[in-house]
Chains A and B, each alone.
Chain A
Amino acid sequence: MCGIVGLFLKDKSLEPQLGAMLTDMLITMTDRGPDSAGIAIYGSDADGNSKLTVQSDNADADFATLADDLSEAINTKVELRRNDTHAILEMPHDKLEEAREALATLRAGMRIMSAGDVIEIYKEVGLPKDVAARFDVSGMGGTHGIGHTRMATESAVTTEGAHPFSTGTDQCLVHNGSLSNHNSWRRKLKREGVRIESMNDTEVGAAYLTWKMQNGASLGEALENSIDDLDGFFNFVVGTKDGFGVVRDPIACKPAVMAETDQYVAFGSEYRALVNLPGIEDAKVWEPEPATVYFWNH
């Protein structure tokens, strides 16, 4: 089943409340996905630095000297900000790739959730309300964000199987549905050099979009292409550094509702997720058309 929520703010005065609004929306979608939950927040950039979000099942041990170890390995100052099982590592943008490689040796058991100038991804197994609380998502600000509640079908209930998936800098994707040709696309994309970490179908969808964009497509074009190339049921909600996109497969049996006001664009798997947003009574509310790409940019 799965639940998706997304919020793209147009009104800057709402930015401090992004996390609180998304948390409320996410918890409403618990019925659709009680297995795991995750959230991608596009916050402010860290004083010109970029960020890696990492996750560890042994956070105490892994994070204790991580900043120093990584600083030494990549020969630059790395700041670490821990948030429960996750940590944000801040460093210059041109060090991201080097850091990623160094981490594979320094902390082999650790997972990289996202990399980019503004994106942070938090995801864990458990009820959405518990996941949101352990990371204090409601206290986070930002320009846009995407959340997901998962009812697993295509791969196991694990942290790495939770959404959102990020396969490119400042990109993320969440998915409601299931892809049926993900194995052949995983092989093809891996041959093309795209990094895919799990056996999850959605990650392949994310990697597909990353690959398209690496080859010059805009997010809008990449989403258009996904309609032809990906087989299965999907509602995708996608985030980039300054953009927010939505696409549904041509059959469109997975539910989706959107709302737009002068202050925001919002996505919910159900209207229930949107009912507490400010001014929803007067918002333009509609069901996105099948095989149609919707996209907003800051």
Chain B
Amino acid sequence: MQTYNLEADGLRGLNTALQAQNENVTEESWEVNNPKGSHAVAVGLNAPIKVTVNGSTGYYCAGMNQQAHVHVKGSVGPGVAENMMSGVVEVEGDASQYAGATGHGGLLNIKGNASSRCGISMKGIDIVVHGNIGHMCAFMGQSGNLVVLGDAGDALGDSCYEARFFVRGSVKSLGADCIEKEMRPEHIEILKDLLERAGADAKPEEFKRYGSARQLYNFDVDNAQAY
């Protein structure tokens, strides 16, 4: 295992060393100490390596991740796993705004709470939040799954496309064109798999499913006055 002291050796050196694994994996296990809220920790990775960050990070941790498993033993600032393509990003604490924004794939597993705009414009990423989420989550979500073991804030899934939302607790309000939907056997299967992969202590049957009413897909002449 390679250990890196971020405070002493600097961010650029860390990301250069980690990204060097994209070409040729020489070290599969990395540990980052003293992140102290630094931004852009472990970004742009594209190799099957495991990176453990011992502490809390700032903006854009594990952004654009592919293949790698990034495990933050602390909380993360805004934009964790933004535009993730594949791999796993695991957060032991809370996540700030727009966690997993625009993500195309992979699993973002947040053990604490996520605040506003979690999963905004999600495009295939799976996000599991063990606590609560804030307002405007999954706004314009296109595909993928957002699973929330706690409660959701205002305007969940506003203007969403085909992303699925599973919430165990309450939903403060649904956004425009987002509705509660029937939980069919295939959804139970999807959810069971996600909860298992996230190590979440919850049963799929306890959740409600939400998604697009598909009323905003096409122009409706009755809405002409609004333009």
Which A residues are closer than 8 A to B by beta carbons?
250, 252-253, 255, 257, 270-275, 285-287, 289-290
Q: Which chain A positions have C-beta within 8 A of B116?
A: 252-253, 290
The answer to whether A287 and B96 touch (CB under 8 A), given A255-B78, A271-B56, is yes
**Contact for A287 among B38, B115, B135, CB less than 8 A:** B115
The answer to whether A275 and B96 touch (CB under 8 A), given A255-B77, A290-B135, is no
Closest chain-A Cβ to B151's Cβ sits at a distance in Å of: 12
Q: Which chain A positions have C-beta within 8 A of B75?
A: 271, 285
Closest chain-B Cβ to A54's Cβ sits at a distance in Å of: 37
**Contact for B58 among A272, A285, A286, CB less than 8 A:** A272
Please name the residue on chain A nearest to B98 by beta carbon. A253
Q: Which chain B positions have C-beta within 8 A of A285?
A: 56, 75
Closest chain-B Cβ to A269's Cβ sits at a distance in Å of: 10
Q: Are A270 and B97 in contact (CB under 8 A)?
A: no
Which B residues are closer than 8 A to A by beta carbons?
36-38, 56, 58-59, 75, 77-78, 94, 96-97, 115-116, 134-135
**Contact for A270 among B58, B94, B115, B135, CB less than 8 A:** B58
Q: Which chain B positions have C-beta within 8 A of A270?
A: 37, 58-59, 77
**Contact for B37 among A275, A287, A289, CB less than 8 A:** A275
The answer to whether A271 and B58 touch (CB under 8 A), given A253-B97, A286-B94, A287-B96, is yes
**Contact for A290 among B36, B58, B77, B134, CB less than 8 A:** B134
Closest chain-A Cβ to B62's Cβ sits at a distance in Å of: 16
The answer to whether A275 and B36 touch (CB under 8 A), given A286-B94, A287-B96, is yes
Q: Which chain A positions have C-beta within 8 A of B134?
A: 252, 289-290
Q: Which chain B positions have C-beta within 8 A of A274?
A: 37
List the 6 closest pairs (A to B, CB-CB), nearest first: A272-B37, A271-B37, A275-B36, A287-B115, A275-B37, A271-B56
The answer to whether A272 and B38 touch (CB under 8 A), given A255-B77, A290-B134, is yes
CA distance in complex: A38, B12 (Å): 31
Closest chain-B Cβ to A151's Cβ sits at a distance in Å of: 16
Please name the residue on chain A nearest to B35 by beta carbon. A275
Q: Are A287 and B94 in contact (CB under 8 A)?
A: yes
Please name the residue on chain B nearest to A273 by beta carbon. B37
Centre residue among A253, A270, A287 by max chain B CB count within 10 A: A287
CA distance in complex: A255, B58 (Å): 11
Q: Which chain A positions have C-beta within 8 A of B56?
A: 271, 285
Q: Are A271 and B94 in contact (CB under 8 A)?
A: no
CA distance in complex: A257, B115 (Å): 12
List 10 A-B residue pairs with CB atoms under 8 Å apart, sorted by A's residue number.
Answer: A250-B135, A252-B115, A253-B116, A255-B96, A255-B97, A270-B37, A275-B36, A286-B94, A287-B94, A287-B96
Closest chain-A Cβ to B156's Cβ sits at a distance in Å of: 15
CA distance in complex: A257, B36 (Å): 14
Closest chain-A Cβ to B48's Cβ sits at a distance in Å of: 29
